[in-house]
Chain A
């Protein structure tokens, strides 16, 4: 892939590029390219690829934080099948995908359409809408815990209009739903920018033609905008579903380290963190849960990509 794209860029002057390429090789020490790439390769190798491989290996051992561990075959995975907490985690992470992804595919697109026109002050609105993305997840979590508190702003407003107070953070399901809402709230601006870039490439003629044919705003959105940004919607769907399945911080901060009432709001990555760290951490077992996370994320990606291909046909 690398060589094809670089020859493409010099392809306009093919004969010259070929000869100078030959000269370039001579004027450059054979070790130089490796010196350029070495720092990146070392970091990625030691801290990403090696841990990835050792996660796969550890999943088949009973390794603990302070004990090396031995090969135990599929024992960890067999234990997972009977671990109630694992099924709770799998359920919550799956629900998270189902709740968050549709909202994150659609809402940022509408937001991008809203800020697309260059009307006065639009630059201010665009960056203001991006603020939740910039703020750290801890700040966001703490702000929303305060807003959704039994005595917080949302509940005072609800009481003022006569709805009464709602236990957003004490009910198992409302808590999960609130965390999803926060994830969507924080992600809006990020995906809005991706959609803005895609919308900039939609030819204006298409909209004009549809207008002439008498299509209203909603009709034009469905027949012109959506098909034109469909590949971006797939990308956003893939990115947001993988991120949603691996959710940790929002739920950890809003439900607490133990996952809310009776741990019912624990997600898979929270379970990995809780099981695998500390002096008594069960590294092997946590790695087995991680392997499940890998497998599901890869499956999600393939699923989204396949859905994309089907619609193409």
Chain B
């Protein structure tokens, strides 16, 4: 197996364990949505984006805006692993006066923009990408959108502008897990055919399995998919991915595991880890 892929796959399992542990400790968090996007964040921060604690003040660093702010536990986990702050600080999530709030805040090192109110991230990313074009800088702007938040009209306002200004330095990733707090997105307010919608709005679109690390790696190397167009990756994912009893269960949107559920989940993840280590051997 490709050692890069293998290392990233192992990291994803470790990240899932961390996500569950900090949510358990905080007794709050968006469990299933963090598990659906963690493979994407893993690939972005460990292999795709030019951003690190050392270059965070560099105007040429790549930018990441997590529009899907609810899945902040995934973002905090990856930032801790990348050394933006000591990993033990994660354990303060949600505690009195902790900077680790339940949605991204710039008080946490590595976070570019406060998010949480849905449907805001794409506009900010468009502004950053436009600034890069104006300044002749080569950085890219990555933004992760949840599918439920696509009902917010500001996404479509921003999409018109992204195409109008030909922002091929903008990379929009949709975590298409198909569920929102009330139920399936297609029952709440239907989004499909989603790829076609983005195409007609002027994006170059790829649809991928958002948990398949080789595919994600390969897809990101092809950006921009088309010169002069913003790139959109529709990442098909599974909400709660990695823990069998959480997968595709709307109830796990922001449910916190109890002791028994936590133990079971960790056992599953450890089994997966052991199996993966075995593959390498």
A and B interact physically: no
